[in-house]
Amino acid sequence: MVALPDNTLMSAEEYLLWEPTQEERYEYWDGEIVMMSGATRNHNRISLNFSKLLDDALADRSCEVYIVDVKVQVEPGQKYFYPDVVVTCDERDDDPQLVQFPCLIIEVLSPSTEAVDRGKKFAKYRQSPTLQEYVLVQVTQPVVEVFRRNEQGKWVLSEYNLDEILRLESVDVEIAIADLYRQVQFKTAATDN
C-alpha cells in the first residue's frame, strides 16, 4: 500500500494513478482526496440485493452493473465518486477503472453520508448528461426515493414503500421493494409501558 501523501491535494492524473494502488477507496473532490468509510451489514446487504437483482434483469442486454469498487467520473479532472451501485448501458464506457456514462446511480444512505449523498453528490451527478435516475435507499426503514429526469430535463421525485414495485425507467426493470430489503434487519423502537 502506498501511503496517503502529506498533502491530500493532488491532480486528477495523480489521483487516477495513485488511488488504484490503495487498500482503501478514496473519492476525488476538486483535488482533495476523501477516504470512503466502511458500511454496516444492512447497507452491504441492500447494495448486494440491488446489484444482484439488476444484474439478473439485465443479463441479456448490453448494460453493465457495478457495485462499490468502481468509481464514476462525475466531472472530468474534478470529481470521481464511488456510488454503491452504478449501471451503464453506453458502449463508450470502456475505461477499466471507471464509469464515464452512467444511466442509473444508487446510493444506500448511511447516517454519516446521507447529507452528502442528497446534497453535494446529487448536485454533481445531475450534471451528467447520461444519468437518467438517481436512487436513494434508506437503511433504517424500507423507503426508496427515485429522482428521475423528465423530458424537460427536470428531476422528479417518486417514493416507494415496502409493498410497492419500483420501476426503473432508465433500464426498463421492475423490482419489488421487499426484494431490495431481503435479509435486512430493522431496529424496532422501544415502547414505553
Positions in the chain whose pLDDT score sits under 70? 1-8, 188-193
Q: What is the pLDDT of residues 4-22, one digit of tens each?
A: 444 568 888 898 888 888 8
43: number of CA atoms within 13 Å, CB side?
Answer: 15
Give this prediction's pTM.
Answer: 0.87
pLDDT of residue 160: 97
Sheet of 26-29, strand order: 32-35, 26-29, 79-81, 71-75, 98-99
Look up the CATH number of domain 39-180. 3.90.1570.10
The boundaries of every CATH 3.90.1570.10 domain in the chain are 39-180
Can you tell me the distance from the alpha carbon of 176 to that of 88, in angstroms, rounded to the nearest whole number?
21
